[in-house]
């Protein structure tokens, strides 16, 4: 019985290594604040992006695109949880903004996207 259990563990580990779904995982946003299409009030916004996997904070980027097209790099918070990218944006004027994000998941895949929101 002991031998069977060890063989089962080895086979399971091998399956995890060769399963194509496991090998092609990407960091995908589970939730965001602000949410895509949201309207926020005030000139300060807490940016909170929660992903389905751990991300490499040092190699991830956040950029705000202003209504006039100007871009502003945001510094991600160093104390963010392993599966989040957080920052604070201040002095935002009213209008349509876009948060551009790019993350490197710990499995080596880069994902990126935009989250449009409006400041009222």
pTM of the predicted model, to two decimals? 0.77
16 pLDDT more than 50: no
What would the pLDDT profile of 73-103 be if each residue is shown by its tens digit? 999 998 999 999 999 999 999 999 999 999 9
55 pLDDT more than 90: yes
pLDDT at position 106 is: 84
All domains of the chain, ordered by start, with CATH? 26-119 (2.60.40.1220)
Nearest to 57 by CA among 34, 27, 26, 82: 82
CA distances from 24 to 6, 54, 110 (A): 27, 14, 11
Tokens of 49: 């992006």
What would the pLDDT profile of 96-115 be if each residue is shown by its tens digit? 999 999 999 988 899 999 99
């Amino acid at each position: 019985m002991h031998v069977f259990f060890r063989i089962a563990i080895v086979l399971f580990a091998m399956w995890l290594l060769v399963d194509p779904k496991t090998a092609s995982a990407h960091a995908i946003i589970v939730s965001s604040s602000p949410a895509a299409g949201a309207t926020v009030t005030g000139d300060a916004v807490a940016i909170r992006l929660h992903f389905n996997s751990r991300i490499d904070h040092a190699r991830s980027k956040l950029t705000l695109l202003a209504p006039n097209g100007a871009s502003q790099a945001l510094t991600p918070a160093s104390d963010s949880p392993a599966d989040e990218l957080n920052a604070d944006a201040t002095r935002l004027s009213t209008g349509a903004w876009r948060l551009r994000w790019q993350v490197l998941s710990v499995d080596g895949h880069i994902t990126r996207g935009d989250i449009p929101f409006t400041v009222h």
